[in-house]
Structure 1
């Protein structure tokens, strides 16, 4: 809608986990390094805790890309509020090998599914693939039996290695839930935390996303990432969003749309304040 007006080839502030738009702040880079270390060193299990909208899902996708999609067999579960452990197992089996999901109802119970999962994991490892299971939004899990099921799949091991790497992502309340389940808590090899972006990162974050979405500059003309938002607008964005990437994306997207509608030359602080008021952003 507004892309051509601002010299963009696509929308830069979509709230989707596209790794191309990942901005590696110091804390994001540190978390990505730790997650990668869990996989490459065969540590079995890692946990990523972060505030709402700080980029956990995006970081998970970036991890899979960095490892090489052709080198891994991955299962990324975004809504883990299953009614029973067998449903969780079915989702993991389906994610790692959709063709392997049993047809017989009796084989859809936990024990046969565990046997099927073990076979899948062994076959993938023999093919030189890493098995990675990411449970996103894990703070939403209410049934302790689901956490126990996650612990049990960590028992799939060869003599010298885990057959899979399990990652548990969630909001800060996940930390307390896991700590109350000692057998699982003790299996977590590395823990990472993501908070809001710092003051110095806000401008870099916005410019990075604009640069990815920008059309190539013509001649000596600067690209869109350097000219759309002025300094005062960036201060207003920081003040309103608190450095939460998802809130930054929402505000910036609406600002670009409003600026287009008003035929603005650039995004200024007054326009940001107008957007916050008009769209009731709180």
Structure 2
């Protein structure tokens, strides 16, 4: 794991000093993942959900080239409202620092920085992964290779369903990244409950996930992440026919407009938002709030002084 020059927000500094559980949160969902003004509202809801479930939120981002673990509310508001915020993967962190950029961290960058800061649990919506037609484009998210060398638990709703889910699971296996379903042996499909593929492992409680973290640390076997797929309940998923129809149209538009690389995911998510008349946004928000709640419970269970507090996951 590389070294990062990190400044900690005051609330994270206090949590580290007092041995309280901390959950890492990404900032690309604020600057690139959600439309304004929903992005700021949801960012605040995510942080509050972490607090309500027994942990301290540490939203990670960059301001003026300074990497911050635990953005303050005014700093989150700045990233939510600013134009031209850089999208920072791990490879971009040094460039962002050198040019004093304002930047939002992706899953890859957030995971790497969080692990460097000693944070063991990270909540996000959906992972990046292998893009469709990657056999010709070689388009694959840096999330995957970063997770192969980053000891962190990523609580997510699978990979974004706009990607090639099966190929992504194959790459995670090849890269040595552990994958488990939370309460299920089926890998979740982000907007939809079932992504169409089995997983080998199922964990049913925050305590089981915390025990997995402890076993990894004790055994020293493998330095990769644990991807924990937390599916939406069937009644909360996006209508599957609407999902499939919207995805097919979005992929057609991608080809028509020549969109590629980093622009693919925001383009398709924006298409989902407009074509489903906001229904996908509602589902996306439910996903991240549920994942934030579960991540907080896992972090609390993994922190001995807080393991018996008994916080419950909202239904």
Instruction: State the TM-score, normalized to the length of structure 1.
Output: 0.26
Rg larger in structure? 1
Higher relative contact order (CA 8 A, sep 6+): 1
